[in-house]
Structure 1
């Protein structure tokens, strides 16, 4: 509980910081809304379903990435602007980090729900289902960006963050796919250990 409260109050603090002179308030709203909704859902279901601390930590990280992207916009995040200039890159790659995380982090969230709800056991089918769901989430997010741009016009340019790349949507989904595969490959066994610890303590039903 104490660890969870630390994560919650720290993310609230970061959220408040992000409200101070954001690059564009409309973009801020669009970018941080998923984080706010996700945190709200976690609070509502907390008494009935608590994730492992590993997953909560990753959710915190995803929220931080979204909130920072909302404050600066993904195309103008200062650290990645410096990286762009230092290595003479063609674009600010913070959005690529964001989409990699969009696969890397939901992969373990979905994996934990599927295992604990006995939807499927660990193995190739679990891997396949998680990858498919994460790629579907990424594609759905791209469709949301498309619809927002269609209805708001130039106001959503910073939200789209294409930076002049006609293949930006495809790159975004590819990075989410890579993030998912990397997450399952390198954190799968560690996640299993955390699930076993949770099961051994008997604190939450599986």
Structure 2
């Protein structure tokens, strides 16, 4: 498994300097962009940001891997999942969220989102961002405790279960955040369409 943190020249940690990540992406794109290749299909040597050798990949594969790494680390849910995968912990594709209180609130939130207008949507978005921050902080704490354990643990360990459950919630919240953005776009489009007929 490729460590995307090492590839992007970032510390392998949940806390992430997004500005540095973006700067490292630009550097790597300059270094590995297909247009920067020599005639033999190999990358033109440049100072490297990452600590992983990509010379065995062709230019398109190098560029694709760098972009995948960037997008994985940029999003809090996929970054958390990648950190756990590096420790041998993965979510089952069939796993469902077991937190009944979270699920009840999520259902209520979805109903409110379906009925939202412009005013209530901004309130929902603020509430969702708070909810996301709480779960992000919860994952950070769970991951710190997991890393502090004297040895690597299996998915059955209570700390691993806590971290994995938090990642599931983060994935759900990120998906809902995307749905909020779509709803905002739809409401804006509806307003624009209404203005055309006035």
Relative contact order (C-alpha < 8 Å, sep 6+): which is higher?
1
TM-score normalised by L of structure 2: 0.30
Between Structure 1 and Structure 2, whose CA radius of gyration is higher? 2
TM-score normalised by L of structure 1: 0.29
